[in-house]
Amino acid sequence: MNEVKNVRDPQRFSLNGRAKSLAFAVEGLVFMFRTQHNAWLHALATLSVIVLGLYLDVSAADWRWLVAAMAMVWGAEALNTAVEYVCDVVAPNFHLAVKRAKDIAAGGVLIAAVAAAIIGTLTFWPYCLA
């Protein structure tokens, strides 16, 4: 029987390996930030939330919600970017299924962004009223 071998055999834990993984992750985030226009909008929104949170002196509990919301949007944008790039490799020419996959991934970012906006509004509203 032909056995398919894993191309990447599990390796032992090493600090050097973890450092390389971290470097790859940072490289991916930098690439996303440089190539995705929506990442710039997310960066502007993130900066705005941080400045407003510092200005309004929000509580630690409220910062937890804000950080979770920002992380949710950035995570969705990163996954969306990854889906787009994989789809472009798999089908460089137009294909309806690829379009659907990209649209769904973009919809995931939209869901995260709307949820983050609601969390931000609910978090900042009491501070603005005070």
Q: Domains (ranges, CATH) in the chain? A: 37-129 (1.10.287.3610)
Catalytically annotated residue among 3, 27, 77, 84: 77
Compute mean pLDDT per 10 residues along the chain, 130 residues long, and list them: 61 88 96 95 97 98 98 97 95 94 97 98 95
What pLDDT was estimated at residue 41? 96
What pLDDT was estimated at residue 3? 61
- Give the ranges where the chain is alpha helix by DSSP (H): 15-35, 37-56, 60-90, 96-129
What pLDDT was estimated at residue 10? 72
What pLDDT was estimated at residue 13? 86
pTM: predicted TM-score of the whole model, two decimal places:
0.85
77 catalytically annotated: yes
- Distance between the two ends of the chain, CA-based, in angstroms? 72
> Which tokens in the block code for residue 85?
């790039």
How far is Cα 45 from Cα 29, in angstroms, rounded to an integer?
17
Amino acid at 105: A
